[in-house]
């Protein structure tokens, strides 16, 4: 005897429930991990997000870096030692004419920004120590800047 949904409605519901469960389970595999990033912030025409505290959020930031024209990482190290990630870094980005386009404080060791193509100067300040980098954003290329401070020593 062949079973079908017409003669066995309970079988139809069981199949539907199984398919729904499979669909829900696959969402986790299809959704990029970077979807778990904090909400995007806006300042003028710039979209940005910062954070990365905790292994899950840190992983999400690392995976999302290639999706943003500019990514930054912040750390502090003892001389000759391994760096520890830092937060509360003041970040100021100005365009080639010196006009500020982003002025924020990073909420974790990562900051990702969507900037229009152009040349920029990025200043990152941690514990009254400022580091400056120049960067050019062009096309679909993603740029990554690392700001690293030494404990107890000013570094330019």
Are the C-beta atoms of residues 123 and 106 closer than 8 Å to each other? Answer: no
* CATH for 126: 2.60.40.10
0.85 surpassed by pTM: no
pLDDT band per the 50, 70, 90 thresholds, residue 75: very high
Q: Record the tokens describing residue 76, joined without a space.
A: 């502090």
| Distance, CA of 51 to CA of 33 (rounded, Å) | 15
Residues 104 and 145 in one domain: yes
Residues spanned by the domain of 121: 33-150
Q: Number of helices and strands (H, E) in the chain?
A: 2, 10
Q: Are strands 70-77 and 143-150 parallel, antiparallel or unpaired?
A: parallel
Residues 26 and 58 in one domain: no
Residues 104 and 146 in one domain: yes
pLDDT band per the 50, 70, 90 thresholds, residue 41: very high
The tens digit of pLDDT for each residue in 116-134 reads: 999 999 999 999 999 999 9
| Distance, CA of 81 to CA of 152 (rounded, Å) | 13
Give the pLDDT mean for 139-143. Answer: 94
Q: State which of 1-5, 115-119, 148-152 shows the largest mean pLDDT.
A: 115-119
Please state, for a pLDDT cut of 70, what percent of the chain lies above it.
73
């Amino acid at each position: 005897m062949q079973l079908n949904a017409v003669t066995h409605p309970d079988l139809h519901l069981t199949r539907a429930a199984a398919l729904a469960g499979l669909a829900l389970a696959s969402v986790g595999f299809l959704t990029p991990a970077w979807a778990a990033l904090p909400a995007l912030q806006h300042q003028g025409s710039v979209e940005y997000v910062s954070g990365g505290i905790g292994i899950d959020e840190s992983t999400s930031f690392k995976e999302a870096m290639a999706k943003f024209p500019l990514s930054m990482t912040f750390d502090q190290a003892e001389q000759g030692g391994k760096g520890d990630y830092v937060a509360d870094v003041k970040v100021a980005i100005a365009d080639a004419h010196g006009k500020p386009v982003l002025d924020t404080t990073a909420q974790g060791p990562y900051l990702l920004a969507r900037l229009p193509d152009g040349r920029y100067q990025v200043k990152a300040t941690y514990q009254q120590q400022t580091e400056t980098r120049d960067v050019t954003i062009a096309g679909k290329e993603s740029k990554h800047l690392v700001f690293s401070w030494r404990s107890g020593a000013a570094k330019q």
